[in-house]
Amino acid sequence: MSASEPRRLTVVDPGDVLTGVAPLGFERAGKLCAAGDATHRGLVRIAAQIADHGLRRVVAPSARTTLTLGLQAARDWATHDLDLKSVRRQRSECYSALRAIEAATLRAVRASVASAGAPPEPPSHLDAHAETVVWRYVRLALRLGVEAVVLTLDGVTTPSLLASVMQHVAAARAYQTTALGAARHPEFRARAEQQAALEAEQLGDASHAPELLALQIFHEYLGVRWKVLHDAERAYIDEFVSWSLPTP
């Protein structure tokens, strides 16, 4: 460009922006590859493996059949052993099975939790609230895990969607571990109540009742725990993806 020529800003299409939901090499490849080429098929195989990794934590074994078949359909397409029509049919079946998968998984998790026995102390206000959080997080984990499978199948026709599989799986596993770990831990709840009582006494303000502060602090604690678990899971997934991608 000569000194007399006007300067121009490079226009970047929103679809070309890298969002960070997956390792840069994977996300970039998903945006640059052509549908059906060798790179695209390799990305599908990687995404299917990661989605399966998520299923093993968040979906009960008895409820995985439809999702497992869906991931196998994606793998078969990637090796030229299945056509797009069959992949779309499996995608539809996975999506339609969500309610049944959720019901079966919740039954299995509730049975597992019940076998551990009920806490000996009468439940507090925080305990009652925490139980609702536990099952909300279990449902979130489940839905994110199922969505990771659906995204893998959608990625057969739209390669850029495959990058979101990593984020869904990391979030799903973090929600599941937080739900059945920190959110149910009696000492974790007790510490939130202790901190709430301390802060309420220091503030001396009726608008900061210990019960309300305990709920807020409990969620702050859970948020930190979820972030730590999510980041650790993403690091694990990212390492696998980096190993799977060819060296440039």
Dihedral (CA of 66, 70, 76, 80) sign: positive
Through-space distance between the first and last CA atoms of the chain, rounded to whole angstroms: 31
Q: Which residue has the tokens 């609702």?
A: 132
Return the exposure string of 17-45: e unless at least 16 CB atoms fall within 10 Å of the residue's CB, then b: eeeebbbebbbebbeebeeeeebbbbbbe
Please give the residue range of the domain that contains residue 208: 21-244
Return the C-alpha torsion angle 86, 21, 14, 1, nearest 10: -120
Report d(CA 150, CA 158) in Å as an integer.
Answer: 12
Give the pLDDT score at 52.
97
Q: Is residue 5 one of the residues assigned to a domain? A: no
Its pTM stands at 0.87
Q: Is residue 4 one of the residues assigned to a domain? A: no
Q: What is the tens place of the pLDDT at every residue in 72-92?
A: 999 999 999 999 999 999 999
Count up the domains in the chain and report the number.
Answer: 1
- Cα–Cα–Cα angle for 69, 91, 162, rounded to 5 degrees: 95
Q: Is residue 7 one of the residues assigned to a domain? A: no
Q: Is residue 56 one of the residues assigned to a domain? A: yes
Q: Is residue 15 one of the residues assigned to a domain? A: no
Q: What is the tens place of the pLDDT at every residue in 19-77?
A: 778 889 999 999 999 999 999 999 999 999 999 999 999 999 999 999 999 999 999 99
What Cα–Cα distance (Å) separates residue 228 from each residue in 22, 171, 234, 235, 239?
17, 11, 10, 11, 17
Q: Is residue 32 one of the residues assigned to a domain? A: yes
Report d(CA 160, CA 151) in Å as an integer.
Answer: 10
Q: Is residue 35 one of the residues assigned to a domain? A: yes
Q: Report the phi/psi class of residue 80: left, alpha or beta, with left for phi > 0 and alpha for psi in -120 to 50.
A: left
Q: What is the tens place of the pLDDT at every residue in 134-184?
A: 999 999 999 999 999 999 999 999 999 999 999 999 999 999 999 999 999
Q: Is residue 6 one of the residues assigned to a domain? A: no
